[in-house]
Structure 1
Amino acid sequence: MAQAKKSGPGWDSVELAPVVLIKSKEEALTDRARDRLIAQARQQDPEIEVVKLDAGDYPAGELAVLASPSLFGGAKLGIVTGLESMSDAFLQDALELVAHPSPDLFLVAVRSMKSRSAARGVKLDKAIESVGFPVADIPELKYDSDKIDLLRADASRAGRRVNEDALRMLVDSMGSDIREMTSALRQLIDDTSGTITTTHVNTYYGGRIEATGYAVADAVVEGNLTLALQQMRHALSTGTHEVAIVSALAFKFRDMAKVSATMGRDGRNIKLSMAPWQVDRAKRSLRNWSDEALARAISAIAKADADVKGFRGEARDATYSLEKCIRVVTAARRL
């Protein structure tokens, strides 16, 4: 029976070797892997020379020059990008280096797996793998749960905690740019103390972040009418449609209703198609919501959904219908 192929180390666990291949779909994490390897090289030799090369614009023989001993001693670290468009000259020289590594050169080769030409030079990949040199796999962070995991791990490495709502706010507002999202968290870690909350995120990025329907929904669930209306107006002013905001409300309360049905209120054991963190978050939200309040909120959201989609003749103003819904739902929380 064939064994499953083992995945390579991630950006945070790859170790320096004579040759390291980084296959990545996430540029921000590629930079982290590269910086990690540079730091390891400088631990071995603080004076190591770092040389950057482009595999697509490569002069034949350059690797041999780098690998040759220097009159002044000292090793070199070559950072090569653009493997997805490598020249034939680079492929030939790199294959030679892999077969006969140099004690005076570390080579870190980066291949972007998002490029249409990512298959270019697969022969080099196989050669590196066959020798046993590290091949770091960095997948794309497609899902919010992956982005939240990254932020949580970053905070943990810094010895800090971030509550789930703050993590969600960072992802909702900046998750399309991983570098910006992680930089925002780093600033919060540097400039605040204690557990990082949505208040910190709003204080530092309230004027910059793109308000989303989920930010509105979070404020509504917390019963914070002022913040909910503020986020609603911000979202509308940045191009978010009323329909999207109502959809976010519906999604949030639908999750709460699903989890509510599994908490021993009707004796049924229902299997949910939700991630564990989503279930935990819904449970925390439900602490402040009675069954009657939840039912009233869902009814108001259903009416608003029809209104903003124009299904009701009396709904001439979608924004008014949305604001009315937010007021009704936040008031229902007090039941």
Structure 2
Amino acid sequence: MAQRKGAAKTKSQKATLVPWREVRPAPIVLVSGAEDFFAREATSLLRTHLRTEDPSLEVHEFNAKEYVPGDLSTVVTPSLFNEPRLVVVDQVHEAVEGFIEEALSFVAAPVDDTTLVLRHKSGNRGKKLLDAVRASEFAIEVSCQPLKANDLSGFLRDEFRMQQRRVDNDAAQALIAAFNTSLEELAAAARQLMSIAPDTDITAEIVNRYYGGRVETTGFKIADSTIAGRLADALMLVRAGFDTGLNPVPIVSAIAMKLRMMAKVSGLGGSDAQLAGQVGAAPWQVGQARRELRGWSDPELGRAIRLTAETDFMVKGGSRDAEFAVERLVRRIATRDL
């Protein structure tokens, strides 16, 4: 039993904490935190990396909650041909004692060309094993903590940047508005968009082209009703959205995007197509903003934008009740209580 070839062996060294996108081969990989999407992605990236290094990679998967004593010891024992092995163990946070003891033995003396992945969501179950892994010079820890609402834009930008693509802020907010109830769903939508849209730069127009129906049924539909003064419709949509897990942040973002576009076209002359390049929008967006401006004065629009900015701060941690802050914003804009 020994360390992975090329690894430095320093007694004072501790497990290194790495982001999920930067997972790398190591004898022991602790995948910790409650976000399953990040955990699955990290494990998949690791498997791909190891299989690229050696296509003969053997993969074994266990559930620590239903572990049969001896299974881990059997699969990590060197074989005649010394094939590399990846052993993925799920539910370590609910592990039976037999698994913990065998895993501790592996952590104390890792096996050459074997990678042990331990998936632990939370809690103190298996603390002795966690402590041993975190103290090991042969281990890395991949932190998979859930994202806060205001971290979603950064997550999307990283998704696009990994494929040498760019997404503008309005496009990111449109995707978040449509797919914010599941991080996995949001990532899938972004990846599908990159696979079907030839454009290097992803704009809100492109998002609407492919996902318009989905976007309209969430944050932007609420924004439409709010700005049009249809209070009952807007509140019904808000409450239905909250009941199905819709996050307050993209609702506020959708309202803010519409108000900003209205401000950009206010007072400008020319056709929708002529103004599109000037304000950085599609002709249909210019036309929509012009229609939404009817009945709005510039002072009202300015106050609505300031109120929306205040609410944006509140739903990103400035208030204990983000849902109430959204309802307050919707009521005041829909009734022009500005």
Which bracket does the TM-score occupy, shorter chain normalised? 0.5 to 0.7
Higher RCO by CA contacts (8 Å cutoff, separation 6 or greater): 2
Task: Return closer, same or farther for 1:252/1:91 CA change in 2, 3 Å cut-off.
Answer: same
Tell me if 1:29 matches 2:30: no
Deviation at 1:211, TM superposition (A): 2.9
Equivalent position of 2:159 in the other structure: 154
The equivalent of 2:301 in structure 1 is 297
Deviation at 1:173, TM superposition (A): 2.0
Question: For residue 148 of structure 2, what is the aligned residue in structure 1?
Answer: 142
1:326 CA displacement: 7.0
1:301: Cα distance to partner? 9.7
Q: Deviations over 1:125-161 (max 9, x none)?
A: 1101111210111211122x31111110110111111
TM-score, L = length of structure 1: 0.65
State how 1:214-293 maps to structure 2 within 5 Å.
Answer: 216-217=222-223, 236=237, 239=240, 248=252, 252=256, 293=297
Question: Does the aligned pair in 1 maintain the 2:72–2:103 contact within 8 Å?
Answer: yes
SS in 1 for 2:59: strand
What is the CA-CA distance between 1:44 and the residue it aligns to? 2.4
CA distance in 1, matches of 2:71, 2:240: 51
Whether contact under 8 Å (1:249, 1:301) holds in the other structure is no
Q: TM-score, normalised by structure 2?
A: 0.65
C-alpha distance in structure 2 between counterparts of 1:80 and 1:197, whole Å: 41
Instruction: For 1:38, give the aligned amino acid.
Output: R
Correspondence for 1:129 among 126, 134, 142: 134
Aligned to 1:200: 206
Cα shift readout 1:17-70 (whole Å, capped 9, x = no counterpart) = 111101022111111110111122112211111111101111111111111122
Shift, 1:294, TM fit: 4.1
Please list every run of 5 or more consecutive structure 1 residues that lacks an aligned counterpart in the other structure.
257-287, 303-321, 329-335
Equivalent pair of 2:93/2:124 in contact (CA under 8 Å): yes
- Once residues 13 and 299 of structure 1 are traced to their aligned partners in structure 2, the CA distance between those partners, rounded to angstroms, is 44
Deviation, structure 1 residue 184: 0.5
Higher fraction of helix: 2
**Counterpart residue number, 1:86:** 95
Q: 1:269 maps to what in 2?
A: none
Cα displacement (A) at 1:219: 10
Deviation at 1:249, TM superposition (A): 8.8
Which of 4, 8, 17 is residue 26 of structure 2 equivalent to?
17
3-state SS of paired residue (1:8): strand
Distance 1:249 1:163 in 2: 13
* 1:140 aligned counterpart, secondary structure: coil
Task: Note if contact 2:27-2:116 (Cα within 8 Å) is conserved in structure 1.
Answer: yes
Where 1:15 maps in the other structure, the secondary structure is coil
* Runs of 4+ that moved beyond 6 A: 218-221, 299-302, 325-328
- Aligned-pair RMSD on alpha carbons? 4.1
Q: d(CA) in 2 for partners of 1:96 and 1:12?
A: 29
State the alpha-carbon separation in 2 of the partners of residues 142 and 57 from structure 1: 33
5+ residue gaps, structure 2, are: 1-13, 243-247, 261-289, 307-329
Q: Which residue of 2 aligns with 1:96?
A: 105
Superposed displacement of residue 105, structure 1: 2.1
Return the alpha-carbon distance in structure 1 between the equivalents of residues 106 and 70 of structure 2. Answer: 11
